[in-house]
Structure 1
Amino acid sequence: MAQILAPTSQWQMRITKSSTTASPMTAKMWSSLLLKQNKRGPTKSSAKFRVLAVKSEDYTINRLEGLLNLDLTPFTDRIIAEYIWIGGSGVDVRSKSRTISKPVEHPSELPKWNYDGSSTGQAPGEDSEVILYPQAIFKDPFRGGNNILVICDAYTPQGEPIPTNKRARAAEIFANQKVIDEVPWYGIEQEYTLLQTDVKWPLGWPVGGYPGPQGPYYCGAGADKSFGRDISDAHYKACLYAGINISGTNGEVMPGQWEYQVGPSVGIEAGDHIWASRYILERITEQAGVVLTLDPKPIEGDWNGAGCHTNYSTKSMREEGGFEVIKKAILNLSLRHTDHISAYGEGNERRLTGKHETASINTFSWGVANRGCSIRVGRETEKQGKGYLEDRRPASNMDPYIVTSLLAETTLLWEPTLEAEALAAQKLALNV
């Protein structure tokens, strides 16, 4: 990443005479030349020498870095707020900056803003204004100081959430008193793949070829096993700086693929933190000249896909007797399997094949310590009789607002018919 870690600035000195090609000259050589000229006194030669000091490319980069890293705090109370929202694809993040008169501590202190929705696939050209509502703020790891990142959701000028605004519906579910009383916790495992810029082939893979088979790469170390660790580490620290509840990171099974975990987070906060972390990751890969993809199956064949496993628990699940509550939640999830699958990410059918640590997309299953199931329950949860469940179905490109709120809705607010519940209980008993 030469554009980030630029070497110390240097000057290149060139002496030209007529059309003679200039040659590089160090600062030491230039000082020596000046000293000799001073000792000799005025030159009698009619030849004219011109000394040109040309800033090197590295020096220019360092000057730019210096400006980017300016600390504005001693000079002004004004800050830069980066407004971030989800674009028309439902996966892309967009952002733009504005100056705020003073530091803020809560999103309610920030003004609403607008953007051209026709340029993001979210509004027609003849009525393109979309309104941004600030919802969550994080410290800006790129600008530092009191500058902030602002997670927003999008509305029409009449105050209606636009179709790609999934946060609004999630906020309604998490505002339900029954959900609030259960204090839903989420731990989200975001997997992602790094691609080479020009060829869109995984980082570390030979262009047009394949590395050795999977096995040594998961949590591996070494130049032949770990590709992109600097990006993962930079992202980890940037998230901690921002105030994102990131809890860990690791290299994944497919080379060039990584994972980080966010949580435990409560309610709507889980979605806000995942989207902020995705934005930061996009910015870091942008600076590194690497392409980020959340495609759930970036490479076809005998390679692991990329998921976004979502660990979930409620207050009742975490208390004594919680395992029975977990089983009831799993029963409800089995009855709404199709609803969840349809909302768990585009292209997920290429990933959920029943292979590579996944369950079939068409069949609901659960098990203890079984990573080939739709829902996994940990050994410790079984032993303690309380804990959490892991939904392994969400794809890496899932919308965390949808997944987290749907889990809460299905397990806390939705009630199946007695007949459906009895039938599902029989199927699950046979499955186990």
Structure 2
Amino acid sequence: MAQILAPSMQWQMRMPKYSNIASPMTTKMWSSLLMKQNKKGTNRSSAKFRVLALKSEDSTVNRLEDLLNLDITPYTDKIIAEYICQNNTISCWNRIGGTGIDMRSKSKTISKPVEHPSELPKWNYDGSSTGQAPGEDSEVILYPQAIFKDPFRGGNNILVICDTYTPAGEPIPTNKRHRAAEIFSNSKVSAEVPWFGIEQEYTLLQQNVKWPLGWPVGAYPGPQGPYYCGAGADKSFGRDIADAHYKACLYAGINISGTNGEVMPGQWEYQVGPSVGIDAGDHIWCSRYLLERITEQAGVVLSLDPKPIEGDWNGAGCHTNYSTKSMREEGGYETIKKAILNLSLRHKEHISAYGEGNERRLTGKHETASIDSFSWGVANRGCSIRVGRETEKQGKGYLEDRRPASNMDPYVVTSLLAETTILWEPTLEAEALAAQKLALNV
């Protein structure tokens, strides 16, 4: 079960009060997103994020609020488990609008609190409604794989990351976790204890016009420059959402390590890791689910499109920092360079698995390398693979793969990195040729 890092105080998340204005970017919306300390009542040992229902137009109290935040712990041992799975069959990578991910979930009552996925029953859903199974044989089976605390319901309630199988026990084609788990359970891979630090970038869109948050409707803000890690009403748009997500991840037990505003206004990033093996994918998928739910409550659209706005604007990536035990030990720099050589030889295989629409982002501009060529460099953010100055100085450390798009599947990317750098062996001829090309590149 994921470790819990819970806030020490009880916090509230208010849902926005909608108006007839097309854009949700109003003062009321931002004030409704503020996370306020609840100073009333006695102190409690645990923390939770409260969900407040909308008030009716005549300002009378909506009684749903009391039920949404009802603490059932004193009255029953039963808990609610939210079974979550990904569905990669539906394409929603349109340039403006659409999340770039398709996650589904359904709730199940469990008789008592649990500590491990093995204590949870398998479940099923209608695969014909998600494009994953035919109507005449529509059951898709959910296998619980990872548990996180539920920051929306609080208490002992949980979020459950699942993967998907046929009734016969075969992984369905969209189940990418199964193959990743096979790679990470390989004895050669597990002995290397692969670490991943994933930088998830995302864009917040105004709900009704599908235009970035903070941008004038139908127009553009000032050029890029002051927005990255910026502060101020004219530079930072969506901070309350990013902060709410940050705390929700800590509460859930996700290994989130930081967050910041990005280069394009209305765009943010958070980092998850270091995580070992399959955990990296589980934590990223759960963090994406939390972000979907928080933006849902805020009345804002989440987009993981790798290039939401054409032109002189940064795209959105999912840079993946990676190291093995051999890379982190003395002499690890040579292992890193050998890994880079292998990655250069499988550049096309990696690009094809690194997200949809990535060709619009990897242009050689805006801190990216060209999608058609492989390159690496020290402290160079215009390369396919970046190695940090400290890694070069210490002679050990990690590499950063800057090619993955924001909508990449973390199970696919992390397992492919491990496979290419640990399990895959090129021919001597290919290795020698690649070494010559990389030498010229550097």
Q: TM-score, normalised by structure 1?
A: 0.87
Identify the match of residue 407 of structure 1 among 407, 412, 417: 417
C-alpha distance in structure 2 between counterparts of 1:274 and 1:120, whole Å: 22
Kindly provide the CA deviation profile for residues 162-209 of structure 1, in whole angstroms up to 9, marking residues without a partner as x: 111000000000000010100000000000000000110000000000
C-alpha distance in structure 2 between counterparts of 1:408 and 1:55, whole Å: 53
Deviation (angstroms), 1:59: 3.6
SS in 1 for 2:109: strand
SS in 1 for 2:202: strand
C-alpha distance in structure 2 between counterparts of 1:189 and 1:168, whole Å: 23
Identify the match of residue 15 of structure 2 among 1, 4, 8: 4
Instruction: Summarize the alignment of residues 246-395 of structure 1 with structure 2, pairs less than 5 Å apart.
Output: 246-395=256-405
Q: Which residue of 2 aligns with 1:83?
A: 83
C-alpha distance in structure 2 between counterparts of 1:405 and 1:377, whole Å: 20
Kindly provide the CA deviation profile for residues 238-271 of structure 1, in whole angstroms up to 9, marking residues without a partner as x: 0000000000000000000000000000000000
**Is 1:245 paired with 2:265?**
no
C-alpha distance in structure 2 between counterparts of 1:348 and 1:57, whole Å: 48
Q: 1:134 to 1:58 in 2, by over 3 A?
A: farther
Q: 1:76 to 1:290 in 2, by over 3 A?
A: same
C-alpha distance in structure 2 between counterparts of 1:330 and 1:392, whole Å: 12
Matched letter for residue 90 of structure 2: S
Q: Which residue of 1 aligns with 2:52?
A: none
Deviation (angstroms), 1:57: 4.7
C-alpha distance in structure 2 between counterparts of 1:377 and 1:134, whole Å: 37
Deviation (angstroms), 1:118: 1.0
Q: Which residue of 1 aligns with 2:430?
A: 420
Identify the match of residue 190 of structure 1 among 180, 186, 200: 200
C-alpha distance in structure 2 between counterparts of 1:59 and 1:416, whole Å: 70
Identify the match of residue 210 of structure 2 among 200, 211, 223: 200
Matched letter for residue 74 of structure 1: P
Q: Which residue of 2 aligns with 1:72?
A: 72
C-alpha distance in structure 1 between counterparts of 2:59 and 2:193, whole Å: 52
Matched letter for residue 205 of structure 2: L
CA contact (8 A) 2:149 2:251 kept: yes
Q: 1:316 to 1:55 in 2, by over 3 A?
A: closer
C-alpha distance in structure 2 between counterparts of 1:94 and 1:250, whole Å: 27
C-alpha distance in structure 2 between counterparts of 1:409 and 1:402, whole Å: 10
Q: Which residue of 1 aligns with 2:98?
A: none
C-alpha distance in structure 2 between counterparts of 1:208 and 1:56, whole Å: 30
Kindly provide the CA deviation profile for residues 97-150 of structure 1, in whole angstroms up to 9, marking residues without a partner as x: 010000000000000000011111111112111000000000000000000000
Instruction: Summarize the alignment of residues 97-108 of structure 1 with structure 2, pairs less than 5 Å apart.
Output: 97-108=107-118
Matched letter for residue 61 of structure 2: T
SS in 2 for 1:308: coil
Unpaired runs of 5+ residues, structure 1, are: 7-53
C-alpha distance in structure 1 between counterparts of 2:210 and 2:369, whole Å: 28
Matched letter for residue 72 of structure 1: I
Matched letter for residue 60 of structure 1: V
Q: 1:217 to 1:158 in 2, by over 3 A?
A: same
Q: 1:201 to 1:269 in 2, by over 3 A?
A: same
SS in 1 for 2:272: strand
SS in 2 for 1:60: coil
SS in 1 for 2:407: coil
Matched letter for residue 194 of structure 1: L
**Is 1:60 paired with 2:71?**
no
Q: Which has the higher contact order (CA 8 A, sep 6+)?
A: 2
How many matched pairs?
Answer: 384
Kindly provide the CA deviation profile for residues 207-239 of structure 1, in whole angstroms up to 9, marking residues without a partner as x: 000000000000000011000000000000000
Greater gyration radius? 1
Matched letter for residue 337 of structure 2: K
Runs (4 or more) in structure 1 with deviation over 6 Å come to: none
Cα RMSD, aligned residues only: 1.5
**Is 1:158 paired with 2:159?**
no
Deviation (angstroms), 1:65: 2.1
SS in 1 for 2:210: coil
SS in 2 for 1:232: helix
**Is 1:128 paired with 2:138?**
yes
SS in 2 for 1:173: helix
Q: 1:55 to 1:165 in 2, by over 3 A?
A: closer
Matched letter for residue 157 of structure 2: N
SS in 2 for 1:137: strand
Deviation (angstroms), 1:89: 3.1
SS in 2 for 1:408: helix
Q: TM-score, normalised by structure 2?
A: 0.85
C-alpha distance in structure 2 between counterparts of 1:230 and 1:163, whole Å: 37
Matched letter for residue 165 of structure 1: N
Matched letter for residue 82 of structure 1: E
Deviation (angstroms), 1:5: 6.9
C-alpha distance in structure 2 between counterparts of 1:155 and 1:5, whole Å: 38
Matched letter for residue 389 of structure 2: R
C-alpha distance in structure 1 between counterparts of 2:202 and 2:68, whole Å: 28
Instruction: Summarize the alignment of residues 39-50 of structure 1 with structure 2, pairs less than 5 Å apart.
Output: none
SS in 1 for 2:286: helix
Q: Which residue of 1 aligns with 2:181?
A: 171
Matched letter for residue 196 of structure 1: Q
Matched letter for residue 105 of structure 2: S
Question: Which range moved further: 314-323 or 121-130?
Answer: 121-130
Q: Which residue of 2 aligns with 1:24?
A: none
C-alpha distance in structure 2 between counterparts of 1:425 and 1:162, whole Å: 39
SS in 2 for 1:188: strand
